[in-house]
C-alpha cells in the first residue's frame, strides 16, 4: 500500500518533481515526487540501499537528478546546510574544536575574514549549548565520537540555516548524546526551520518525528509517521529492496 504525500499545510521548502537519481547504470531513486513543507520535521527511512543518502546528497546539490527536478524555494535556496554521514567526514586533522565550530560562520564572513568578538562569543555559546564548554582548545582528533558529533551540531548552529539536512546524525553515538542532540533538533524545529533527517530507528521516528518519508528505491509512503510506518508499507519496502532490513 502506498501512502500519498499529505497536502502541504505550508509552502514547499523542497519539492521533488518526478526525480530519478543515480550514476552510470545504477538508479538509486526512481520517479520520486512530493513536498517537504517549510517548517516541517521529516525522517527519511528505509532499508539499506533504499536511496536515502543519495536523496540527501541531491537535495544538498552534490548530485544532479538523472531525470526530473528538485525545486528549492528561491527564498531559502542559499540557506541550506547539510551534515553528511560521519564516514564521509575527515576530522583527523589538527584543527581545534573552536575553529571547527567557527567554520559554520564562513558563509557569512568568507573563509579569510576573522571572527569579531561577537562571533567568538557565538562560538563559545554554541559549544556550551551542545555540552562542550571548555573544550574549544581541544584538537578535533582527540574528541570522542559523541563529542565530535556535538561539535558538528554546534557548527550547524553557527551556520544558522533555515533548511537542515542530516544523514544518520545519531549513528555510533551514546544515548546521552542522542537525547541532547534530539532536543536541539526540536529546538530548531520550534524556531520554524525545516529539518530532513535520515534515520534507522523507527521507534525514534514514531516518538519524535511527525512526518516520515519511507524509501525503497522509490517512494513507498510519505506523510504522517504513524500512517507511513504501517506494517504493510514496511513489508513492501523490504520486498522492493530485496533483503534489506528496515
Q: Looking at the structure, do residues 4 and 75 belong to the same domain, yes or no? A: yes
Q: Looking at the structure, do residues 223 and 175 belong to the same domain, yes or no? A: yes
Cα 143 from Cα 136, distance rounded (Å): 11
Torsional sign, CA 52, 57, 58, 59: positive
Q: Looking at the structure, do residues 31 and 98 belong to the same domain, yes or no? A: no
Q: Are 71 and 32 in contact (CB under 8 A)?
A: no
153: nearest Cα among 190, 114, 100? 100
- How do beta strands 211-215 and 219-224 pair? antiparallel
Q: How many independent structural domains does the chain possess?
A: 2
Given 160, 193, 217, which residue is the final one in a domain? Answer: 160
When the pLDDT of each residue in the chain is averaged and rounded to a whole number, the result is 89
pLDDT digits (tens, 9 = 90+) for 133-148: 999 999 998 999 899 9
Which domain covers residue 149, as residue numbers? 85-160
Q: Looking at the structure, do residues 155 and 225 belong to the same domain, yes or no? A: no
153: nearest Cα among 141, 164, 163, 162? 164
- 75 pLDDT above the threshold of 70: yes
Q: Looking at the structure, do residues 196 and 241 belong to the same domain, yes or no? A: yes
Q: Looking at the structure, do residues 137 and 172 belong to the same domain, yes or no? A: no
Q: Looking at the structure, do residues 121 and 227 belong to the same domain, yes or no? A: no
Measured in degrees and rounded to the nearest 5, phi and psi for residue 217 equal 80, -10
Confidence of residue 48 (pLDDT cuts 50, 70, 90): very high
Confidence of residue 109 (pLDDT cuts 50, 70, 90): low
Given 160, 181, 202, which residue is the final one in a domain? Answer: 160
Q: Are 36 and 13 in contact (CB under 8 A)?
A: yes
Cα 143 from Cα 153, distance rounded (Å): 14
Q: Looking at the structure, do residues 2 and 69 belong to the same domain, yes or no? A: yes
- 246 pLDDT above the threshold of 80: no
The residue ranges of DSSP E strands in 38-150, in sequence order, are 41-45, 67-72, 80-83
pLDDT digits (tens, 9 = 90+) for 192-223: 999 999 999 999 999 999 999 999 999 999 99
- 52 pLDDT above the threshold of 50: yes
- 1 pLDDT above the threshold of 70: no
Given 160, 191, 219, which residue is the final one in a domain? Answer: 160
Q: Looking at the structure, do residues 142 and 180 belong to the same domain, yes or no? A: no
Residue 224: CATH number of its domain: 3.40.50.300
State the pLDDT at residue 89: 65
Q: Looking at the structure, do residues 73 and 172 belong to the same domain, yes or no? A: yes
Q: Looking at the structure, do residues 124 and 75 belong to the same domain, yes or no? A: no
Cα 140 from Cα 159, distance rounded (Å): 19
Q: Are 228 and 215 in contact (CB under 8 A)?
A: no
State the pLDDT at residue 6: 44
Amino acid at each position: 500500500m502506498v501512502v500519498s504525500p499529505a497536502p502541504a499545510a505550508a509552502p514547499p521548502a523542497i519539492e521533488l518533481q518526478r526525480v530519478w537519481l543515480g550514476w552510470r547504470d545504477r538508479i538509486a531513486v526512481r520517479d520520486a515526487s512530493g513536498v517537504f513543507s517549510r517548517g516541517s520535521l521529516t525522517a527519511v527511512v528505509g532499508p539499506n540501499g533504499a536511496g536515502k543518502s543519495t536523496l540527501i546528497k541531491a537535495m544538498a546539490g552534490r548530485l544532479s537528478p538523472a531525470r526530473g527536478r528538485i525545486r528549492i524555494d528561491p527564498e531559502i535556496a542559499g540557506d541550506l546546510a547539510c551534515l553528511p554521514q560521519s564516514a564521509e567526514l575527515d576530522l583527523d586533522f589538527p584543527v581545534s574544536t573552536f575553529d571547527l565550530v567557527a567554520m559554520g560562520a564562513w558563509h557569512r564572513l568568507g573563509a579569510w575574514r576573522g571572527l569579531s568578538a561577537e562571533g567568538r562569543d557565538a562560538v563559545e555559546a554554541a559549544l556550551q549549548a551542545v555540552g562542550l564548554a571548555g573544550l574549544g582548545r581541544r584538537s578535533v582528533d582527540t574528541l570522542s565520537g559523541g563529542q565530535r558529533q556535538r561539535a558538528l551540531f554546534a557548527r550547524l548552529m553557527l551556520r544558522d540555516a533555515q533548511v537542515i539536512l542530516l544523514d544518520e546524525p545519531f549513528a555510533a553515538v551514546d544515548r546521552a548524546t542522542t537525547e541532547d542532540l534530539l532536543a536541539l533538533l526540536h529546538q530548531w524545529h520550534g524556531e520554524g526551520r525545516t529539518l530532513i533527517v535520515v534515520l534507522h530507528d523507527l521507534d525514534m521516528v514514531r516518538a519524535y518525528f511527525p512526518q516520515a518519508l519511507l524509501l525503497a528505491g522509490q517512494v513507498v509512503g510519505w506523510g504522517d509517521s504513524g500512517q507511513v510506518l504501517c506494517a504493510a508499507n514496511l513489508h513492501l519496502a523490504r520486498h522492493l529492496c530485496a533483503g534489506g532490513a528496515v
